[in-house]
Amino acid sequence: MLNLFVDVMKMNVLLIDDETEICFLLKNMLRREGIGCDVAFSMAEGREQLLSGHYAAVFLDIHLPDGLGYQMIPEIRERQPDVQVIAISAVDNEAENANKQGADLFIPKPFDKGSILGGLRSLGLTA
């Protein structure tokens, strides 16, 4: 029998951030828009997720417990060349560093639904 209540996501993203509240907020915001979201709380966990899943975008916090997130951008590109990297940080002056390392977009914290969905839209990931 066909299950009519299958949760079909338009795309899947990875969120690498050590702040559980940010992860909860962003994951729920994206799910309401039909976007799947896997979460990693460190660079090490993010590396594991990148090996096991395919993502349209990676939301990457800059200050993580095991390093600076933007240092991971070349590795993300190597593992998933087509992924869009969106750096997120409460420290505005990190935008320049993230962009130099190859981030496609920088979104400052605190963010809202408009900045997240607008960012995805500007990268051509949502309508």
Residues facing 70 on adjacent strands: none
**Residue range 53-106, pLDDT digits in tens:** 999 999 999 999 999 999 999 999 999 999 999 999 998 788 999 999 999 999
Q: What would the mean pLDDT of 6-31 be, rounded to a whole number? A: 87
Instruction: Write the DSSP symbol of residue 125.
Output: S
Ranges 2-6, 31-35, 90-94, most confident: 31-35
Percent of the chain with pLDDT over 70: 92
- Count, in order, helices (H) and strands (E) of the chain: 5, 7
In angstroms, what CA-CA distances link 1 with 4, 5, 76? 9, 12, 40
Instruction: Specify the fold of 11-119.
Output: Rossmann fold (3.40.50)
Residue 4 C-beta-side C-alpha neighbours within 13 Å? 0
Amino acid letter, 45: E
Alpha helix ranges (H) inside 15-112: 20-32, 43-52, 73-79, 94-100
Q: Give the pTM.
A: 0.89
Q: Contact, 66 vs 42, CB < 8 A?
A: yes
Please give the residue that has the higher pLDDT: either 90 or 1.
Answer: 90
Sort strands 35-40 and 63-64 into parallel, antiparallel or unpaired: unpaired
What pLDDT, on the 0 to 100 scale, is given for residue 8? 47
Position 5 pLDDT exceeds 70? no
Chain-centroid distance of CA 114 in Å reads 15
Ordered by start, the domain boundaries in the chain are 11-119
Query: Which token pair is 101?
Result: 């390392």
What pLDDT, on the 0 to 100 scale, is given for residue 9? 54
Which of the four pLDDT bands, split at 50, 70 and 90, describes residue 50? very high
The three-class DSSP label of residue 71 is: helix
